[in-house]
Chains A and B, each alone.
Chain A
Protein backbone atom coordinates (compact mmCIF):
# COMPACT_ATOMS: atom_id res chain seq x y z
CA UNK A 1 0.00 0.00 0.00
CA UNK A 2 2.95 2.27 0.68
CA UNK A 3 3.88 1.80 -2.95
CA UNK A 4 0.48 3.13 -3.93
CA UNK A 5 1.03 6.27 -1.90
CA UNK A 6 4.54 6.76 -3.29
CA UNK A 7 3.43 6.47 -6.91
CA UNK A 8 3.40 10.05 -8.22
CA UNK A 9 0.69 9.28 -10.82
CA UNK A 10 -1.80 8.91 -7.95
CA UNK A 11 -1.15 12.46 -6.82
CA UNK A 12 -1.78 14.38 -10.03
CA UNK A 13 -4.37 14.67 -12.76
CA UNK A 14 -8.18 14.82 -12.54
CA UNK A 15 -8.32 11.57 -10.49
CA UNK A 16 -5.39 12.46 -8.25
CA UNK A 17 -5.65 12.52 -4.48
CA UNK A 18 -5.54 16.35 -4.17
CA UNK A 19 -8.45 16.80 -6.60
CA UNK A 20 -10.53 14.12 -4.86
CA UNK A 21 -9.73 15.63 -1.47
CA UNK A 22 -10.84 19.08 -2.58
CA UNK A 23 -14.05 17.59 -4.02
CA UNK A 24 -14.76 15.72 -0.81
CA UNK A 25 -14.20 18.85 1.26
CA UNK A 26 -16.27 21.04 -1.08
CA UNK A 27 -19.33 18.78 -0.92
CA UNK A 28 -18.92 18.33 2.82
CA UNK A 29 -18.61 22.04 3.61
CA UNK A 30 -21.50 22.90 1.30
CA UNK A 31 -23.73 20.29 2.96
CA UNK A 32 -22.70 21.42 6.44
CA UNK A 33 -23.49 25.05 5.58
CA UNK A 34 -26.93 24.27 4.17
CA UNK A 35 -27.73 21.94 7.07
CA UNK A 36 -26.67 24.57 9.62
CA UNK A 37 -28.76 27.24 7.91
CA UNK A 38 -31.80 24.97 8.22
CA UNK A 39 -31.15 23.34 11.58
CA UNK A 40 -29.79 26.16 13.74
CA UNK A 41 -32.75 28.56 13.49
CA UNK A 42 -35.11 25.67 14.26
CA UNK A 43 -32.94 24.54 17.17
CA UNK A 44 -32.73 28.09 18.51
CA UNK A 45 -36.48 28.55 18.21
CA UNK A 46 -37.36 25.24 19.84
CA UNK A 47 -34.77 25.70 22.59
CA UNK A 48 -35.91 29.24 23.32
CA UNK A 49 -39.65 28.62 23.26
CA UNK A 50 -39.67 24.87 24.16
CA UNK A 51 -42.24 24.37 21.42
CA UNK A 52 -42.00 21.29 19.21
CA UNK A 53 -39.49 19.33 21.32
CA UNK A 54 -41.31 16.05 20.69
CA UNK A 55 -41.36 16.65 16.94
CA UNK A 56 -37.64 17.26 16.54
CA UNK A 57 -36.71 14.38 18.87
CA UNK A 58 -38.97 12.03 16.90
CA UNK A 59 -37.58 13.29 13.61
CA UNK A 60 -33.99 12.75 14.75
CA UNK A 61 -34.78 9.18 15.81
CA UNK A 62 -36.65 8.32 12.65
CA UNK A 63 -33.85 9.61 10.43
CA UNK A 64 -31.28 7.51 12.24
CA UNK A 65 -32.69 4.28 10.85
CA UNK A 66 -33.00 5.56 7.29
CA UNK A 67 -30.45 3.70 5.13
CA UNK A 68 -28.44 6.51 3.52
CA UNK A 69 -27.26 4.38 0.61
CA UNK A 70 -30.81 3.45 -0.28
CA UNK A 71 -31.95 7.05 -0.10
CA UNK A 72 -29.13 8.30 -2.36
CA UNK A 73 -29.80 5.60 -4.94
CA UNK A 74 -33.53 6.30 -4.83
CA UNK A 75 -33.08 10.03 -5.37
CA UNK A 76 -30.55 9.52 -8.14
CA UNK A 77 -33.00 7.41 -10.12
CA UNK A 78 -35.89 9.78 -9.44
CA UNK A 79 -33.90 12.94 -10.25
CA UNK A 80 -31.84 11.45 -13.06
CA UNK A 81 -34.19 12.46 -15.86
CA UNK A 82 -34.92 15.89 -14.29
CA UNK A 83 -31.41 17.32 -14.20
CA UNK A 84 -28.88 17.47 -16.95
CA UNK A 85 -25.21 16.50 -16.58
CA UNK A 86 -23.49 16.18 -13.22
CA UNK A 87 -26.33 17.75 -11.26
CA UNK A 88 -28.22 14.46 -11.66
CA UNK A 89 -26.12 12.89 -8.92
CA UNK A 90 -24.78 15.99 -7.12
CA UNK A 91 -28.22 17.28 -6.12
CA UNK A 92 -29.50 13.93 -4.74
CA UNK A 93 -26.24 13.38 -2.85
CA UNK A 94 -26.36 16.86 -1.34
CA UNK A 95 -29.99 16.41 -0.31
CA UNK A 96 -29.13 13.20 1.54
CA UNK A 97 -26.04 14.73 3.16
CA UNK A 98 -28.09 17.69 4.38
CA UNK A 99 -30.89 15.42 5.57
CA UNK A 100 -28.48 13.38 7.67
CA UNK A 101 -26.71 16.44 9.08
CA UNK A 102 -29.81 18.39 10.11
CA UNK A 103 -30.91 16.22 13.10
CA UNK A 104 -27.61 16.31 15.06
CA UNK A 105 -27.23 20.08 14.57
CA UNK A 106 -30.87 20.69 15.44
CA UNK A 107 -30.85 18.58 18.60
CA UNK A 108 -27.45 19.93 19.64
CA UNK A 109 -28.63 23.53 19.30
CA UNK A 110 -31.91 22.79 21.02
CA UNK A 111 -30.29 20.90 23.90
CA UNK A 112 -27.67 23.59 24.30
CA UNK A 113 -30.20 26.41 24.54
CA UNK A 114 -32.52 24.40 26.78
CA UNK A 115 -29.69 23.58 29.20
CA UNK A 116 -28.63 27.21 29.79
CA UNK A 117 -28.78 28.08 33.47
CA UNK A 118 -32.08 29.95 34.00
CA UNK A 119 -30.31 32.18 36.55
CA UNK A 120 -28.07 33.52 33.78
CA UNK A 121 -31.11 34.27 31.61
CA UNK A 122 -32.89 35.97 34.51
CA UNK A 123 -29.81 38.03 35.31
CA UNK A 124 -29.60 39.19 31.68
CA UNK A 125 -33.29 40.08 31.71
CA UNK A 126 -32.78 41.97 34.97
CA UNK A 127 -29.97 43.94 33.33
CA UNK A 128 -32.43 45.09 30.69
CA UNK A 129 -31.54 42.81 27.77
CA UNK A 130 -34.29 42.35 25.21
CA UNK A 131 -35.41 38.81 24.19
CA UNK A 132 -33.24 38.75 21.05
CA UNK A 133 -30.34 40.18 23.05
CA UNK A 134 -30.75 37.40 25.58
CA UNK A 135 -30.89 34.78 22.83
CA UNK A 136 -27.75 35.93 20.99
CA UNK A 137 -25.84 37.50 23.86
CA UNK A 138 -26.43 34.97 26.61
CA UNK A 139 -28.14 31.75 25.54
CA UNK A 140 -26.22 31.19 22.30
CA UNK A 141 -22.73 31.62 23.82
CA UNK A 142 -23.69 29.40 26.76
CA UNK A 143 -25.03 26.76 24.37
CA UNK A 144 -21.90 26.70 22.18
CA UNK A 145 -20.35 23.51 23.64
CA UNK A 146 -23.44 21.44 22.81
CA UNK A 147 -23.90 23.19 19.46
CA UNK A 148 -20.34 22.23 18.56
CA UNK A 149 -20.91 18.64 19.59
CA UNK A 150 -23.94 18.59 17.29
CA UNK A 151 -21.87 20.09 14.46
CA UNK A 152 -19.23 17.47 15.10
CA UNK A 153 -21.69 14.61 14.82
CA UNK A 154 -23.13 16.15 11.67
CA UNK A 155 -19.71 16.58 10.07
CA UNK A 156 -18.77 12.96 10.72
CA UNK A 157 -22.05 11.84 9.16
CA UNK A 158 -21.40 14.04 6.13
CA UNK A 159 -17.81 12.95 5.54
CA UNK A 160 -18.83 9.32 5.96
CA UNK A 161 -21.86 9.54 3.68
CA UNK A 162 -19.99 11.57 1.05
CA UNK A 163 -17.70 8.53 0.81
CA UNK A 164 -20.69 6.34 0.07
CA UNK A 165 -22.05 8.84 -2.46
CA UNK A 166 -19.03 8.12 -4.66
CA UNK A 167 -21.01 5.03 -5.66
CA UNK A 168 -23.43 7.20 -7.63
CA UNK A 169 -20.49 8.96 -9.36
CA UNK A 170 -20.10 11.80 -6.87
CA UNK A 171 -16.41 12.71 -6.69
CA UNK A 172 -14.35 12.68 -3.53
CA UNK A 173 -12.12 10.17 -1.83
CA UNK A 174 -14.83 7.50 -1.91
CA UNK A 175 -14.01 7.18 -5.63
CA UNK A 176 -10.78 5.36 -4.76
CA UNK A 177 -12.70 2.76 -2.75
CA UNK A 178 -15.51 2.31 -5.29
CA UNK A 179 -13.24 2.27 -8.35
CA UNK A 180 -10.78 0.02 -6.56
CA UNK A 181 -13.60 -2.42 -5.85
CA UNK A 182 -14.69 -2.34 -9.50
CA UNK A 183 -11.14 -2.96 -10.72
CA UNK A 184 -10.33 -5.50 -8.01
CA UNK A 185 -7.47 -3.28 -6.87
CA UNK A 186 -7.39 -3.81 -3.13
CA UNK A 187 -4.46 -1.46 -2.55
CA UNK A 188 -6.30 1.44 -4.10
CA UNK A 189 -9.34 0.65 -1.91
CA UNK A 190 -7.19 0.47 1.21
CA UNK A 191 -5.41 3.71 0.30
CA UNK A 192 -8.79 5.39 -0.18
CA UNK A 193 -9.99 4.05 3.16
CA UNK A 194 -6.89 5.34 4.93
CA UNK A 195 -7.30 8.77 3.33
CA UNK A 196 -10.99 8.92 4.24
CA UNK A 197 -10.19 7.90 7.81
CA UNK A 198 -7.46 10.53 8.06
CA UNK A 199 -9.78 13.17 6.60
CA UNK A 200 -12.47 12.34 9.16
CA UNK A 201 -9.99 12.44 12.04
CA UNK A 202 -8.50 15.71 10.77
CA UNK A 203 -11.87 17.40 10.38
CA UNK A 204 -12.91 16.14 13.82
CA UNK A 205 -9.72 17.57 15.32
CA UNK A 206 -10.28 20.89 13.55
CA UNK A 207 -13.80 21.22 14.96
CA UNK A 208 -12.43 20.39 18.40
CA UNK A 209 -9.88 23.21 18.10
CA UNK A 210 -12.41 25.74 16.78
CA UNK A 211 -14.80 24.85 19.59
CA UNK A 212 -12.03 25.23 22.17
CA UNK A 213 -11.14 28.66 20.81
CA UNK A 214 -14.68 29.98 20.50
CA UNK A 215 -16.30 28.70 23.68
CA UNK A 216 -16.04 31.29 26.43
CA UNK A 217 -13.42 30.22 29.01
CA UNK A 218 -15.97 30.96 31.73
CA UNK A 219 -18.03 27.98 30.55
CA UNK A 220 -15.21 25.48 30.70
CA UNK A 221 -13.35 24.63 33.85
CA UNK A 222 -10.08 25.79 32.34
CA UNK A 223 -9.82 29.06 34.29
CA UNK A 224 -10.65 27.42 37.58
CA UNK A 225 -8.12 24.71 36.93
CA UNK A 226 -5.45 27.23 36.03
CA UNK A 227 -6.04 29.17 39.22
CA UNK A 228 -5.98 26.26 41.63
Chain B
Protein backbone atom coordinates (compact mmCIF):
# COMPACT_ATOMS: atom_id res chain seq x y z
CA UNK B 1 0.00 0.00 0.00
CA UNK B 2 1.24 3.45 -0.96
CA UNK B 3 -0.48 5.70 1.55
CA UNK B 4 1.00 8.90 0.14
CA UNK B 5 -0.78 8.08 -3.16
CA UNK B 6 -4.05 7.59 -1.29
CA UNK B 7 -3.54 10.92 0.49
CA UNK B 8 -2.80 12.76 -2.75
CA UNK B 9 -5.82 11.21 -4.47
CA UNK B 10 -8.15 11.44 -1.47
CA UNK B 11 -10.26 14.20 -3.01
CA UNK B 12 -10.97 12.19 -6.16
CA UNK B 13 -11.55 9.00 -4.17
CA UNK B 14 -14.08 10.81 -1.98
CA UNK B 15 -15.83 12.00 -5.17
CA UNK B 16 -15.95 8.45 -6.53
CA UNK B 17 -17.23 7.18 -3.17
CA UNK B 18 -20.11 9.69 -3.23
CA UNK B 19 -20.96 8.68 -6.81
CA UNK B 20 -20.90 5.04 -5.76
CA UNK B 21 -23.14 5.80 -2.80
CA UNK B 22 -25.65 7.62 -4.97
CA UNK B 23 -25.65 5.00 -7.72
CA UNK B 24 -26.22 2.23 -5.13
CA UNK B 25 -28.91 3.92 -3.06
CA UNK B 26 -30.98 5.83 -5.60
CA UNK B 27 -32.05 2.74 -7.63
CA UNK B 28 -33.10 0.90 -4.47
CA UNK B 29 -35.20 3.87 -3.30
CA UNK B 30 -36.90 4.25 -6.70
CA UNK B 31 -37.29 0.47 -6.90
CA UNK B 32 -38.93 0.37 -3.48
CA UNK B 33 -41.32 3.22 -4.32
CA UNK B 34 -42.42 1.37 -7.47
CA UNK B 35 -42.41 -2.02 -5.78
CA UNK B 36 -44.84 -1.06 -3.01
CA UNK B 37 -47.91 -0.62 -5.24
CA UNK B 38 -46.81 -3.36 -7.67
CA UNK B 39 -46.09 -5.79 -4.84
CA UNK B 40 -49.48 -5.05 -3.35
CA UNK B 41 -51.05 -5.73 -6.75
CA UNK B 42 -49.03 -8.93 -7.08
CA UNK B 43 -50.12 -10.14 -3.67
CA UNK B 44 -53.78 -9.64 -4.56
CA UNK B 45 -53.77 -11.06 -8.06
CA UNK B 46 -52.23 -14.42 -8.83
CA UNK B 47 -52.17 -13.76 -12.57
CA UNK B 48 -50.32 -10.44 -12.26
CA UNK B 49 -47.96 -12.04 -9.78
CA UNK B 50 -46.98 -14.92 -12.03
CA UNK B 51 -46.63 -12.79 -15.18
CA UNK B 52 -44.75 -10.01 -13.41
CA UNK B 53 -42.42 -12.35 -11.56
CA UNK B 54 -41.82 -14.27 -14.79
CA UNK B 55 -40.91 -11.09 -16.67
CA UNK B 56 -38.83 -9.80 -13.76
CA UNK B 57 -36.95 -13.08 -13.56
CA UNK B 58 -36.17 -12.80 -17.26
CA UNK B 59 -34.78 -9.26 -16.86
CA UNK B 60 -32.87 -10.28 -13.77
CA UNK B 61 -31.16 -12.97 -15.85
CA UNK B 62 -29.46 -10.45 -18.16
CA UNK B 63 -25.90 -9.70 -17.00
CA UNK B 64 -25.43 -6.17 -15.68
CA UNK B 65 -22.71 -5.22 -18.17
CA UNK B 66 -25.04 -6.16 -21.05
CA UNK B 67 -27.82 -4.07 -19.54
CA UNK B 68 -25.51 -1.05 -19.10
CA UNK B 69 -24.58 -1.32 -22.78
CA UNK B 70 -28.08 -1.92 -24.14
CA UNK B 71 -29.99 0.74 -22.17
CA UNK B 72 -28.63 3.71 -24.19
CA UNK B 73 -30.26 2.06 -27.21
CA UNK B 74 -33.61 1.97 -25.41
CA UNK B 75 -33.41 5.28 -23.53
CA UNK B 76 -31.60 7.31 -26.17
CA UNK B 77 -28.92 8.30 -23.63
CA UNK B 78 -25.18 8.38 -24.17
CA UNK B 79 -23.14 5.36 -23.09
CA UNK B 80 -21.39 7.33 -20.31
CA UNK B 81 -24.64 8.67 -18.85
CA UNK B 82 -25.00 7.55 -15.20
CA UNK B 83 -28.74 7.35 -15.90
CA UNK B 84 -28.11 4.01 -17.65
CA UNK B 85 -26.69 2.59 -14.43
CA UNK B 86 -29.54 3.99 -12.35
CA UNK B 87 -32.18 2.53 -14.68
CA UNK B 88 -30.44 -0.86 -14.92
CA UNK B 89 -30.09 -1.18 -11.16
CA UNK B 90 -33.65 0.05 -10.62
CA UNK B 91 -34.82 -2.79 -12.84
CA UNK B 92 -32.85 -5.31 -10.75
CA UNK B 93 -34.08 -3.79 -7.48
CA UNK B 94 -37.67 -3.72 -8.71
CA UNK B 95 -37.52 -7.35 -9.83
CA UNK B 96 -36.30 -8.35 -6.38
CA UNK B 97 -38.50 -6.04 -4.30
CA UNK B 98 -41.88 -6.72 -5.90
CA UNK B 99 -41.54 -10.32 -4.80
CA UNK B 100 -40.34 -9.18 -1.37
CA UNK B 101 -43.21 -6.74 -0.85
CA UNK B 102 -45.79 -9.30 -1.89
CA UNK B 103 -44.19 -11.95 0.35
CA UNK B 104 -44.14 -9.41 3.19
CA UNK B 105 -47.84 -8.63 2.80
CA UNK B 106 -48.49 -12.37 2.58
CA UNK B 107 -46.74 -12.85 5.92
CA UNK B 108 -49.35 -10.78 7.78
CA UNK B 109 -51.66 -13.13 9.64
CA UNK B 110 -55.31 -13.16 8.50
CA UNK B 111 -56.39 -12.87 12.14
CA UNK B 112 -54.67 -9.50 12.39
CA UNK B 113 -56.41 -8.33 9.21
CA UNK B 114 -59.80 -9.41 10.55
CA UNK B 115 -59.12 -7.69 13.85
CA UNK B 116 -58.16 -4.48 12.03
CA UNK B 117 -61.27 -4.62 9.88
CA UNK B 118 -63.38 -5.23 12.98
CA UNK B 119 -61.84 -2.13 14.57
CA UNK B 120 -63.17 -0.13 11.64
CA UNK B 121 -60.08 0.17 9.42
CA UNK B 122 -61.06 0.67 5.81
CA UNK B 123 -59.03 -0.91 3.05
CA UNK B 124 -56.44 1.84 2.42
CA UNK B 125 -55.77 2.79 6.05
CA UNK B 126 -55.59 -0.90 6.90
CA UNK B 127 -52.96 -1.38 4.18
CA UNK B 128 -50.93 1.66 5.26
CA UNK B 129 -51.17 1.40 9.05
CA UNK B 130 -51.51 -2.34 9.67
CA UNK B 131 -50.31 -4.47 6.76
CA UNK B 132 -47.27 -2.47 5.63
CA UNK B 133 -45.78 -1.97 9.10
CA UNK B 134 -46.17 -5.68 9.80
CA UNK B 135 -44.52 -6.48 6.47
CA UNK B 136 -41.47 -4.34 7.30
CA UNK B 137 -39.19 -7.19 8.51
CA UNK B 138 -39.65 -9.18 5.27
CA UNK B 139 -39.31 -6.07 3.09
CA UNK B 140 -36.18 -5.03 5.00
CA UNK B 141 -34.62 -8.43 4.37
CA UNK B 142 -35.16 -7.92 0.62
CA UNK B 143 -33.82 -4.36 0.81
CA UNK B 144 -30.63 -5.59 2.46
CA UNK B 145 -30.00 -8.02 -0.40
CA UNK B 146 -30.81 -5.35 -3.00
CA UNK B 147 -28.61 -2.65 -1.50
CA UNK B 148 -25.62 -4.90 -0.81
CA UNK B 149 -25.60 -6.53 -4.24
CA UNK B 150 -26.04 -3.09 -5.84
CA UNK B 151 -22.80 -1.87 -4.29
CA UNK B 152 -21.03 -4.76 -6.00
CA UNK B 153 -22.80 -4.38 -9.35
CA UNK B 154 -22.22 -0.60 -9.55
CA UNK B 155 -18.47 -1.17 -9.75
CA UNK B 156 -19.00 -3.10 -13.02
CA UNK B 157 -20.13 0.17 -14.61
CA UNK B 158 -16.46 1.20 -14.60
CA UNK B 159 -16.10 -0.91 -17.75
CA UNK B 160 -18.32 1.54 -19.63
CA UNK B 161 -16.72 4.50 -17.85
CA UNK B 162 -19.35 5.76 -15.39
CA UNK B 163 -17.68 7.46 -12.41
CA UNK B 164 -17.68 5.40 -9.17
CA UNK B 165 -15.23 3.32 -7.14
CA UNK B 166 -14.90 0.75 -9.93
CA UNK B 167 -12.70 3.25 -11.77
CA UNK B 168 -10.04 2.55 -9.13
CA UNK B 169 -9.99 -1.07 -10.33
CA UNK B 170 -9.54 -0.21 -14.00
CA UNK B 171 -6.94 2.40 -13.10
CA UNK B 172 -5.09 -0.11 -10.93
CA UNK B 173 -4.94 -2.67 -13.73
CA UNK B 174 -3.73 -0.13 -16.27
CA UNK B 175 -0.97 1.07 -13.95
CA UNK B 176 -0.27 -2.42 -12.52
CA UNK B 177 -0.65 -0.71 -9.17
CA UNK B 178 -2.29 -2.48 -6.22
CA UNK B 179 -3.07 0.50 -3.97
CA UNK B 180 -6.15 1.83 -5.79
CA UNK B 181 -7.51 -1.71 -6.21
CA UNK B 182 -7.26 -2.55 -2.53
CA UNK B 183 -8.63 0.87 -1.58
CA UNK B 184 -11.57 0.34 -3.97
CA UNK B 185 -12.37 -3.12 -2.59
CA UNK B 186 -12.17 -1.94 1.02
CA UNK B 187 -14.36 1.09 0.33
CA UNK B 188 -16.93 -1.09 -1.49
CA UNK B 189 -17.10 -3.51 1.43
CA UNK B 190 -17.32 -0.61 3.87
CA UNK B 191 -20.11 1.02 1.91
CA UNK B 192 -22.04 -2.25 1.70
CA UNK B 193 -21.69 -2.83 5.45
CA UNK B 194 -22.73 0.75 6.16
CA UNK B 195 -25.84 0.61 3.98
CA UNK B 196 -26.75 -2.82 5.34
CA UNK B 197 -26.52 -1.48 8.91
CA UNK B 198 -28.61 1.54 7.92
CA UNK B 199 -31.41 -0.65 6.54
CA UNK B 200 -31.31 -2.76 9.71
CA UNK B 201 -31.45 0.35 11.89
CA UNK B 202 -34.38 1.88 10.04
CA UNK B 203 -36.26 -1.42 10.04
CA UNK B 204 -35.61 -1.74 13.74
CA UNK B 205 -36.95 1.75 14.39
CA UNK B 206 -40.05 1.02 12.34
CA UNK B 207 -40.84 -2.21 14.21
CA UNK B 208 -40.44 -1.46 17.93
CA UNK B 209 -42.48 -4.58 18.78
CA UNK B 210 -39.86 -6.91 17.32
CA UNK B 211 -37.60 -8.73 19.81
CA UNK B 212 -34.21 -7.06 20.20
CA UNK B 213 -30.97 -8.41 18.83
CA UNK B 214 -32.04 -9.34 15.31
Q: How far is the CA of A77 from the CA of B63 in the complex (A)?
A: 25
> In the complex, are the beta carbons of B58 and A201 less than 8 A apart?
yes
CB neighbours (8 Å) of A76 from chain B are 173
B68, chain A: closest CB distance, angstroms: 8
Does any Cβ of A come within 8 Å of B14's Cβ?
Answer: no
CB neighbours (8 Å) of A93 from chain B are none
Does any Cβ of B come within 8 Å of A73's Cβ?
Answer: yes
CB neighbours (8 Å) of A159 from chain B are 63
Given A177-B159, A190-B73, A194-B66, A67 and B182 contact (CB-CB distance below 8 Å): no
Contact of A196 among B58, B60, B66, B151 (CB under 8 A): B66
| Number of residues from A at the complex interface, CB < 8 A | 38
CB neighbours (8 Å) of A20 from chain B are none
CB neighbours (8 Å) of A196 from chain B are 62-63, 65-66
Q: Name the CB-closest residue of B to A196.
A: B66
Contact of B181 among A61, A73, A190 (CB under 8 A): A73
- Using CB atoms and an 8 Å cutoff, list the residues of chain B in contact with chain A: 58, 60-67, 69-70, 72-73, 79, 145, 148-149, 151-152, 155-156, 158-161, 165-166, 168-170, 172-173, 176-178, 181-182, 184-185, 188-189, 192-193, 196
- Using CB atoms and an 8 Å cutoff, list the residues of chain A in contact with chain B: 1, 61, 64-71, 73-74, 76-78, 80, 156, 159-160, 163-164, 167-168, 174, 177-178, 181, 186, 189-190, 192-194, 196-197, 200-201, 204
CB neighbours (8 Å) of B61 from chain A are 156, 197, 200-201, 204
Q: Name the CB-closest residue of B to A202.
A: B61
Q: How far is the CA of A64 from the CA of B188 in the complex (A)?
A: 11
Q: Is chain B's interface secondary structure helix, strand, loop, or mixed overall?
A: helix
Contact of B185 among A74, A164, A168, A194 (CB under 8 A): A74
Given A65-B151, A67-B185, A69-B158, A190 and B70 contact (CB-CB distance below 8 Å): yes
CB neighbours (8 Å) of A174 from chain B are 65
Q: Name the CB-closest residue of B to A187.
A: B73
> In the complex, are the beta carbons of A77 and B176 less than 8 A apart?
yes
Q: A74-B182, A77-B177 are in contact. List 12 more A-B contacts (CB 8 A).
A: A64-B192, A66-B185, A66-B188, A67-B151, A69-B159, A80-B176, A160-B65, A163-B63, A192-B69, A193-B67, A196-B66, A197-B63
Q: How far is the CA of A80 from the CA of B172 in the complex (A)?
A: 13
Q: How far is the CA of A23 from the CA of B65 in the complex (A)?
A: 18
Contact of A67 among B58, B70, B73, B184 (CB under 8 A): B184
> In the complex, are the beta carbons of A164 and B73 less than 8 A apart?
no
Q: How far is the CA of A61 from the CA of B65 in the complex (A)?
A: 22
B88, chain A: closest CB distance, angstroms: 11
